[in-house]
Amino acid sequence: MGHLSAVVQSGILYVSFLRARELYRRLACPGGVRTYPARRLACTEISIVMSTDHSQQKFETRCVHVGVDKDDTFNSCITPIYPTSTFRFEALGKTKGYDYTRSGNPTRRALEESLASLEGGIDCRTTCTGMSASTATMHLFKPGDHIIAGHDIYGGTFRLFSVPFTEFGLKFSFVNMQDVENVRRAITPQTKCIWIETPSNPLLNLVDIEAVVKVAQSKGILTIADNTFMSPYFQRPLELGVDVVVHSTTKYLNGHSDVVGGAVITKKKEHAERVGYIVNALGLANSPFDAWLVLRGVKTLGPRMEAHQRGAMAVAQMLKQHPLVEKVYYPGLPDHPHHELAKRQMKGFGGMLSFDVKGGGAKAEKVMTTTKLYAMAESLGGVESLIEHPETMSHASMTLEARRGAGITDKTLRVSVGIEHPDDLIADLKQALEA
């Protein structure tokens, strides 16, 4: 019986695949040269037009519907997964829009369509990790080009820039970007890019995106923003003038800690084409299964972000009052140094916070190992709460000097607040502090 049902299901899947592929044949245009009456979304190797115009829909509606209406075989409400490495040619030089999954895959393209819409770009390329998304953007530059980045960016990005891409010939300056004058001063005739990560990881410092964009545009410099911490629900850098947005989709966009992935969203044709070319040429793309998981996660992005924020605000307020806590880093607190900027450039304060405990590294370790609800783990943005020690975990790839320069010490703990009830989150962290 089980075997028969599996055979029937495989048959249904295969028919679904053929019919959906036929839909794609009508929607996808290899070469990107034909024009369609519907709005063209992408402009690179495989150009997708959206069968429905979503441009007038609100953000939450687009989370649920963009990249989803893909199956006219059985009218499935959910985008099918196309687990195929290759696609049959109809004749020499004639495909139905896809030839090989490294170069393009309908499930991945559906996710790319969704993320391009949510960030307000013309195109998106999704990749196998957040780091590979950043890697793709570095190929917009050539040896000798100079890039300015924050001194307190994610440790893995710091390592990517200061080792592999420095060896490759790019030059980097890591500056305190909280003051835009530091950015202006770091510019040289070779400066081609300013890399913005805001809020920063793990200390939640903000960079004034519009101010940095103004400086960059006055000198013809490209801006790239890592929008992982806020997600497009709370912050949309392209709307503030940034040229390219990257994400670790591992975090809030997927939201369930069951996949790693990345995305590059572009708003200019030249960048879209180059990133599309590089993702294919370097083999950086994500699998159809992983793309499907992220596409599923994105549907609940809005409600999840609201819940993350509600919990983070409650936990931050508790920590602020706690006698065993030295300092709390959360942009939603009125005394955060960038609270006003946060209100201006973001639509919320997010679910990430850090704090310094009284009693140094030993106490920090005790708190981490005594919590019951918060898993001691790296990463962030999942529905479950996590706690970690940037000094020895997420930011261990930075030098000690770089960590201290960025303000990270061994008494700092970072929390990714999940969507559990705030009362439980508060009670557990309190017992861990007081243990």
Ligand X SMILES: Cc1ncc(COP(=O)(O)O)c(C=O)c1O
CA dihedral sign, ordered 203, 205, 209, 215: negative
Stretch that binds ligand X, among 27-35, 114-122, 126-134, 358-366 (CB under 6 A): 126-134
Q: How far is the CB of 182 from ligand X (least distance, A)?
A: 20
Q: Which of residues 134-173 bind ligand X (CB under 6 A)?
A: 154, 156-157
Q: What is the DSSP letter of 163?
A: I
- For residue 311, the minimal CB distance to ligand X (Å) is 19
Among 178, 248, 254, 309, binds ligand X (CB under 6 A): 248
Q: Which is nearer to ligand X, 229 or 374 (CB)?
A: 229
Beta partners for residue 353, in sequence order:
415
The residue (of 154 and 234) whose beta carbon lies closer to ligand X is: 154
Using CB under 6 A, which of the segments 14-22, 23-31, 186-194, 226-234 binds ligand X? 226-234
Helices and strands in the chain, H and E counts: 16, 14
130 binds ligand X (CB under 6 A): yes
Q: Is 253 in the site for ligand X (CB under 6 A)?
A: no
d(CA 73, CA 251): 33
Structure letter (DSSP) for residue 244: E
Which two tokens mark 73? Answer: 């075989």
In the residue annotation, 251 being an active-site residue is answered as yes
102 is catalytic: yes
Nearest alpha carbon to residue 350 among 427, 413, 418: 418
Q: Which of 98, 154, 233, 374 is catalytic?
A: 154
Closest CA to 354 of 430, 431, 407: 407
Q: What is the DSSP letter of 286?
A: P
What is the β-pairing status of strands 352-357 and 325-329? antiparallel
Could you tell me the two tokens for 278? 């590089």
Kindly state whether residue 345 participates in binding ligand X, applying the rule CB under 6 A.
no
User: Using the rule CB under 6 A, is 260 a contact of ligand X?
Assistant: yes
Contact between 365 and ligand X (CB under 6 A)?
no
Q: Over the range 290-305, which residues count as b (16 or more CB within 10 Å of their CB) and which as e?
A: bbbbbbbbbbbbbebb
127 is a site residue for ligand X (CB under 6 A): no
Of positions 101, 114, 178, 228, contacts ligand X by CB under 6 A: 228
Catalytic center residues: 102, 154, 226, 251
Q: Which residues bind ligand X (CB under 6 A)?
A: 129-131, 154, 156-157, 197, 201, 226, 228-229, 248, 250, 260, 262, 379
